[in-house]
Amino acid sequence: MENNNRKVILYIAASLDGYIAKPDDDLSFLSLVEQAGEDYGYNRFIETVDTLVLGRKTYDWVVKQAGQFPTHGKTVYVVTQTARPPLGNIQFYTGSPQTLIAALKSQPGQNIFIDGGAQLVNSLLQHRLIEEFIISVIPVLLGGGISLFTAGQPEQRLQLLACQQYNIGLVQLHYRLAGNN
């Protein structure tokens, strides 16, 4: 049983055709919406979470790009098949994503940020474990790459919580899993 209401929230950007990266993990399309002083609610969102969960490939990619993973002072769980020693507040979790989520939700805390990638997202969707979706739709068709949603998940009804439009053409959709699933 859950003893609190910390929520599991996916916060991610995708192209209109549903890709979170072009082939070879190319995220350059995100630069289409880069604007000085505009973070599309990211900092406001990050203040509502105390835990990040992400997949190993995404983690390695960020480390390769940025030199280290920006934890923002949060507890970070990297879901991986290969054990590694913890690195500060970054833990490498070799169990199943659903076991991790169940463990986190059994503890009190702030919300839980699902930071990608697609493999982790779809593993969680398989068990209807993503409770909110904040998706920033970038105004571009990429025509290929890594799809945010892959086939084979159960059907899940959503409730629209908000839809925010930005001048540059980004639309941020915010849904929660509907109660009738």
Which residues are paired to 15 by β-bridges? 138
Round to whole Å and give the CA distance between 90 and 5. 23
DSSP 41-72: THHHHHTTEEEEEEEHHHHHHHHHHHSS---T
Which lies closer to its own copies via its Cβ, residue 68 or residue 159? 159
Quote the tokens at residue 123: 């593993």
**Contact partners, residue 58, CB within 8 Å, separation at least 6:** 115, 116, 117, 120
The one segment of 51-59, 100-108, 109-117, 143-151 that binds its own copies by CB under 8 A: 143-151
Which lies closer to its own copies via its Cβ, residue 103 or residue 168? 168
Does 41 sit near its own copies (CB under 8 A)?
Answer: no
Which sign, positive or negative, has the C-alpha torsion 49, 55, 59, 62?
A: negative
The owner of tokens 């920033």 is 136
**How far is the CA of 69 from the CAs of 27, 34, 132, in angstroms?**
16, 20, 24
Interface residue with its own copies, options 125, 129, 136, 179 (CB under 8 A): 125
Query: Shortest Cβ distance from residue 114 to its own copies (Å)?
Result: 14
Total interface residues for its own copies by CB under 8 A:
37
Contact call for residues 134 and 121 (beta carbons, < 8 A): no
Interface of this chain with its own copies, residues 97 to 116, rule: CB under 8 A: none
Binding mask 6-35 for its own copies (x = CB under 8 A): ----------xxx---x------x--x---
Does 121 sit near its own copies (CB under 8 A)?
Answer: no
Does 153 sit near its own copies (CB under 8 A)?
Answer: yes
The one segment of 51-59, 63-71, 81-89, 151-159 that binds its own copies by CB under 8 A: 151-159
**Contact partners, residue 47, CB within 8 Å, separation at least 6:** none
Query: Shortest Cβ distance from residue 9 to its own copies (Å)?
Result: 15
State the residues that interact with its own copies by CB under 8 A. 16-18, 22, 29, 32, 125, 133, 135, 137, 139-145, 148-149, 151-160, 163, 165, 169-171, 173, 175, 178
